[in-house]
Structure 1
Amino acid sequence: MIVHFEPASEEGIASVVRSAAAERVTLAIVGGGTRSGLGNPVRADRTLSTRRLAGIVAYHPAEMTMSALAGTPLAEVEAALAANGQMLSFEPMDHRPIFGTTGEPTIGGVFAANVSGPRRYVAGAARDNLLGVRFVNGRGELIKAGGRVMKNVTGLDLVKLMAGSYGTLGILTEVTFKVLPVPPAAATVVVSGLNDAEAAAVMAEAMAQPVEVSGAAHLPESVRGRFIDGALPEGAATVLRLEGLAASVEMRAEKLVAALSRFGSRSQLDAGQAKALWAEIRNVKPYADGTARPLWRVSVAPSAGHQLVAALRLQTGVDAFYDWQGGLVWLRMEAEAEAELVRRYVGALGGGHATLVRADGEARARAPAFEPQAPAVAQLSERVRATLDPARIFNPGRLAAVA
């Protein structure tokens, strides 16, 4: 039986870590447990959760910053921000639908996994919004980023390093991050009936216009009907979001529609439909299908996304849709994960990052879930991990130190 710890303080977490290091036992680090299916399987002797280490420590709306303990539910953070007309600009994804998990996502988990959504390509990732961290390293020492010189990692940005480390370098106990005002108005333009290559050209054209597009996605016909209860117009949907002051949004939407006049049929969604649509794109609704069919999150150059999908369709069964102007491809395989094939084509198209987000246990154990690092980067990652977690007690089995 695996022993489960839920300390309610930083010192409690540090004490558990010190004991584990002394006894040479390993720890699986979890927050709300909503991303338990992400990455390679973690095989640990004990589980340590930050769930009870919760609460907003400081919030300064005028300065647009917040500090919260790592186990604070994301919903609590977002509610406090909404009460002041503010938001997390990077739109963190909720993984529960695709994994079929329960529980509450935590703010520490958001940053530990560097979770971002449709606005990421203009607002930055979670990592880019993180200002400071407190964490417990593998020796059971409490570290505040910037406040302590660490042997062998002097000069490295520990804040950025901890974001996306998936609990392999330390246990986040507190995060400080920036927030932004909620845009007072938004509009979503839909261009219908385009194939994948045409949609890539339309999104590139939209991004080249002086209209400040904050969301650009393409939903092929195979998935279009699974968004907003099938309320999108007929045909594949290329969707473009504009945000800002109401008068500005209206003017920019008119300019965008005019600029795309030579492409397919154009329309606009009402505010309620648009809000629901972008939440469903963020949470990958088409593939929240209650299965463990392999699901890939692939980041490539925007012009290469549709080429990747076309090449894979010649070799295997695959369904896909596109976010980030086509640079983020969500791929659901119909049978096997095909890790070697996916990564070979990604490399042939100029490189990128392919993460096996979901698969059955056998597939997750067989293939690296995260993009293999170049030898020099892998060597540096190992040195950093050896410094922060010398006994390798955190999340054994995870094959990426920083993602």
Structure 2
Amino acid sequence: MLIPNTEADAAYVIRNAAADRKPLAICGNNTRGFSRANQPAEPISSRGLTGIVDYDPAEMVMTVRSGTPVSEVETALAANRQMMAFEPMDHRGILATKGEPTIGGVFAANVSGPRRFTAGAARDSLLGLRFVNGRGEIIRAGGRVMKNVTGLDLTKLLAGSRGTLGFITEVTFRVLPVPPAVETVVISSLDDEMAAKAMAAAVALPVEISGAAHLPASVRSRFINGRLPDGEATVLRLEGLGPSIEVRAQKLAAVMEAFGPVATLGMERSLTLWREIRNVVPYADGTEKPLWRVSVAPSAGYHLVSALRLEAGIDAFYDWQGGLVWMRMEADPEAELVRRYIRALGGGHATLIRASEAAHAEIPTFEPLPDAIAALSARVKEKLDPAGIFCSGKMGG
């Protein structure tokens, strides 16, 4: 494994690889090892590029080298009662990997948790970055303030590119204050369809919901040590000042009582629950059972699961108001079936997060791109990585 200790070292290594047309597989600490490549490639890791470069809590902006562990970033932010708004998940449980997730990996994979549907994805917090392209050139995109749009498109482009366009060396992103209080309103015993309707009604209310998930009976007991009310649990998160939350929770409960029995969890259990939803704890089971992460319209999620249950063994729960579906298959990944139903429901994205090595070798990890978008992606790839040394095939297709 190649582990450059400076940005200049990374540029040197990549220039040489480009000259030799030697494939490279970019990684941090390899905690999200679910992508595939079409040919053998030597790993190049950002783990040698560590440290917080600049952090002014008053500005709520942080600049960090890409190999810095996420835990180090979170510790520095917590000392100032601040946080990353997009709640990056930790994949280690569901993938049975070790090591420390890196901040560069978070942005390279655009990792976003339950607050995504209100606060935006990781890329929406990203203000700027530095990276080395496939020619070995060091490029700076974006800046420290949101209104500085220089290189904005390039910044967004690198976020979510999973190491296929460049080796990220540094990221600058905005942070937010930690909410002083958190509450979760739970509506019990709703089926998937009624839960989708309840979440849509809740999000439409002026109560500022920051999390909306539905946990069917098959997974409910695997959250917060089974301390959720019996039956299915539809959970709605409120964050902010204590007195404000009390009033908002009362307003929310009054409307939700039309759907089913309502209860609240309190702050401690709320924090645990949403951390477990973020990290997909029910499927951190130490198995290779195929696990899909599906992004669709919130109104389509339960239709997808209902249709698939008629043809395959499936366990599922919903985040992002029903628009993010985590699905564990009992045996075969059923890739064609999953993707066919997604197309029939108006489109979306299905990512095969976990499967056996044999299944990963046969099935594209990521949603195959439509021809027009695939052609555009190829042109972008050719501009930033003309020799094609970065992870060919990693984005599926």
The answer, yes or no, to whether TM exceeds 0.5 is: yes
Q: Distance in 2 between matches of 1:155 and 1:127?
A: 13
Identical-residue share of aligned pairs (%) = 64
Deviation at 1:292, TM superposition (A): 1.1
* Paired residue secondary structure (1:7): coil
Alignment check: 8 A CA contact 1:108 1:174 kept: yes
Alignment check: 8 A CA contact 2:184 2:236 kept: yes
What amino acid sits opposite 1:9 in the alignment?
T
Q: Distance in 2 between matches of 1:29 and 1:44?
A: 12
Alignment check: 8 A CA contact 1:133 1:174 kept: yes
Deviations 1:253-286 (A, max 9, x none): 0000011121211111121111010000000011
User: Which residue number corresponds to residue 294 of structure 1?
Assistant: 290
1:12 aligns with 2:6: no
Deviations 1:335-394 (A, max 9, x none): 111111101101111111111111111111212111111111110100010111111111
What amino acid sits opposite 2:357 in the alignment?
G
User: Which residue number corresponds to residue 327 of structure 2?
Assistant: 331
Pick aligned residue for 2:94 from 89, 94, 98: 98
1:49 aligns with 2:54: no
User: Which residue number corresponds to residue 192 of structure 2?
Assistant: 196
* Paired residue secondary structure (2:325): strand
User: Which residue number corresponds to residue 61 of structure 2?
Assistant: 65
User: Which residue number corresponds to residue 218 of structure 2?
Assistant: 222
For the structure 1 residues 146 and 248, does the alpha-carbon distance in structure 2 shift closer, same or farther, using more than 3 Å as the test?
A: closer
1:113 aligns with 2:109: yes
What amino acid sits opposite 1:171 in the alignment?
F
1:277 aligns with 2:273: yes
1:25 aligns with 2:22: yes
For the structure 1 residues 12 and 320, does the alpha-carbon distance in structure 2 shift closer, same or farther, using more than 3 Å as the test?
A: same
Pick aligned residue for 2:132 from 129, 132, 136: 136
What amino acid sits opposite 2:6 in the alignment?
S
1:344 aligns with 2:340: yes
What amino acid sits opposite 2:3 in the alignment?
E
User: Which residue number corresponds to residue 206 of structure 1?
Assistant: 202
* Paired residue secondary structure (1:157): helix
1:264 aligns with 2:260: yes
Alignment check: 8 A CA contact 1:41 1:361 kept: no
Alignment check: 8 A CA contact 2:132 2:167 kept: yes
Residue ranges of structure 1 left out of the alignment (5+ in a row): 148-153
For the structure 1 residues 249 and 146, does the alpha-carbon distance in structure 2 shift closer, same or farther, using more than 3 Å as the test?
A: closer
TM-score normalized with structure 1 length: 0.95
Q: Distance in 1 between matches of 2:333 and 2:184?
A: 34
Deviation at 1:25, TM superposition (A): 1.0
User: Which residue number corresponds to residue 146 of structure 2?
Assistant: none
Deviation at 1:43, TM superposition (A): 3.9
* Paired residue secondary structure (1:5): coil
| Equivalent residues, number | 391
What amino acid sits opposite 2:341 in the alignment?
Y
Deviation at 1:41, TM superposition (A): 4.3
Alignment check: 8 A CA contact 2:142 2:151 kept: no
Q: Distance in 1 between matches of 2:151 and 2:247?
A: 46
1:162 aligns with 2:168: no
What amino acid sits opposite 2:155 in the alignment?
V
* Paired residue secondary structure (2:129): strand
Aligned CA RMSD, in angstroms, stands at 1.4
Alignment check: 8 A CA contact 1:165 1:400 kept: no
Pick aligned residue for 2:238 from 235, 238, 242: 242
Q: Distance in 1 between matches of 2:97 and 2:151?
A: 39
* Paired residue secondary structure (2:369): coil
1:145 aligns with 2:134: no
* Paired residue secondary structure (1:399): coil
* Paired residue secondary structure (2:131): strand
Deviation at 1:72, TM superposition (A): 0.5
Q: Distance in 2 between matches of 1:394 and 1:5?
A: 14
* Paired residue secondary structure (2:173): strand
Q: Distance in 1 between matches of 2:395 and 2:242?
A: 46
Alignment check: 8 A CA contact 1:200 1:306 kept: yes
For the structure 1 residues 307 and 354, does the alpha-carbon distance in structure 2 shift closer, same or farther, using more than 3 Å as the test?
A: same
* Paired residue secondary structure (1:115): coil
Deviations 1:194-217 (A, max 9, x none): 111111111011111110110000
